[in-house]
Structure 1
Amino acid sequence: MDYSLVIAAAQAAGPCPPGDEPSWGHRVQALTVDLHMIAQQAFQDIARLESSRRFVAFLAEVEIEASSRRGLLTLRSASGEAEHVRTEQQETDRGRALIERARSLKGRWVLVFRYNEQTSATQSVRMLAHLMDLGDGAISVAVAQKILTDDAGGVVSRAQAAWAAAGLPTTGTVSVEQLNSARAQLPQP
């Protein structure tokens, strides 16, 4: 049993009023269950992020798809190619939150966390897991190296060779253009 949830719930419930132990205990129990449910959702969200493909793009448009009520994001790579990614339905808490976040980042460079959701045995839809604002386009070296490693099919030596060939720093940040120059250096398998 995870007693840390019970401790957190007891702290959230506050001190037990004298003589009110039974109702306070029920409140702590209810809060523990709520925290457990929140933790399970957080673990699912983290797993989705960990398995997502990451890439940098310019967020050009955010619309609501009429047929599915999902947010439909139009993303443009540095080369100008468009990719469409969907959110969960607008009526869900998660869908609404992602749509609002995307709208607030429209017209900016973003780090996109995308996964594929199977819609049938033969089809899948590109789904948005998370967006991170890159502001002026500066990307931390660690994130940029992860993106490059993903682009290299997970082959670290290919990513390292491309990073070195592009002459990028080992600490700090790089621009979107610098990351794209390293991507262009990726040796073909």
Structure 2
Amino acid sequence: MDYSLVTAAAQAAGPCPPGDEAAWGRRVQGLAVDLHMVAHQVAQDVARLEHAAKFTAFLEKVEIEESSRRGLLKLRTGDGPEEIRTEQQETDRGRAMIERARSLVGRWVLVYRYNETVGRQKSVRMVAHLLDVGEGVLHVNIAKSIVLDAAGQSADRAKAAWDAAGLPEHGTVTVEELDRARATLR
């Protein structure tokens, strides 16, 4: 028995009103059970994070996937584009992760990813946590691939947008410079 949960529940319930011991006791009992359930969920979340793959990526966009109602995060790593999903939008955890991801669009994030088995043979990449690592800059090759995607894979349109924005051929570009190149494609 974890008496610390009972202690925490009693503190949350506040002082016991004189003559209302039975109702107060039920309140403490209910709060202790709720805290136990929260602790169990936290333990599962921590275990998921401990076993998650971790990588840094630029978060480009967040959409809602029509078929599953999951958040779909469009990321860019040094290896190219990657998509990763949240839990369903209708769940508290899914909604919270979608909001968090939307607040981090245009930033570098540390992604904690795990695979969720869907059906018998399909595995879906899921986000367990996102940690903001800042605005920073993008390597030119990553930025060029983002512009190429924005140009619908048309190398000519991408090069024209890149040149119109006055971006360098080597080194790095800021997110603002990248946005300038993408804006010419709209």
What TM-score do the two structures reach when normalised by structure 2? 0.71
Q: RMSD between aligned alpha carbons? A: 1.5
Letter in 2 for 1:41: Q
> Which residue in the other structure is 2:98 paired with?
99
> Which residue in the other structure is 1:61 paired with?
61
Residue 121 of structure 1, CA deviation: 2.8
> Which residue in the other structure is 1:131 paired with?
130
How do 1:70-89 residues align onto structure 2 when only pairs under 5 Å count?
70-78=70-78, 81-89=80-88
> Which residue in the other structure is 1:42 paired with?
42
Residue 123 of structure 1, CA deviation: 1.6
| Structure 2 gaps, min length 5 | 137-171, 173-186
Q: Work out whether residues 84 and 125 of structure 2, in 8 Å CA contact, stay in contact via their aligned partners in 1.
A: yes
Letter in 2 for 1:78: G
Residue 29 of structure 1, CA deviation: 0.3
Q: Work out whether residues 63 and 73 of structure 1, in 8 Å CA contact, stay in contact via their aligned partners in 2.
A: yes
Higher strand residue share: 2
> Which residue in the other structure is 1:169 paired with?
none
1:24 and 1:45 mapped to 2: Cα distance? 31
Secondary structure of the 1:134 match is strand
Residue 110 of structure 1, CA deviation: 0.2
2:109 and 2:88 mapped to 1: Cα distance? 21
Alpha-carbon displacement from aligned partner over 1:107-159 (angstroms, at most 9, x marks no partner): 0000000000111332200001000000145xxxxxxxxxxxxxxxxxxxxxx
1:47 and 1:94 mapped to 2: Cα distance? 16
Letter in 2 for 1:128: V
Residue 78 of structure 1, CA deviation: 3.5
2:37 and 2:105 mapped to 1: Cα distance? 32
Secondary structure of the 1:116 match is strand
Larger radius of gyration: 2
Letter in 1 for 2:126: M
What TM-score do the two structures reach when normalised by structure 1? 0.70
2:81 and 2:58 mapped to 1: Cα distance? 9
2:128 and 2:17 mapped to 1: Cα distance? 43
Q: Work out whether residues 9 and 31 of structure 2, in 8 Å CA contact, stay in contact via their aligned partners in 1.
A: yes
Alpha-carbon displacement from aligned partner over 1:12-48 (angstroms, at most 9, x marks no partner): 0001111111110000000001101111111111111
> Which residue in the other structure is 2:25 paired with?
25
Aligned pair 1:110/2:109, yes or no?
yes
Runs of 4+ residues over 4 Å off in structure 1 = none
Matched length: 138
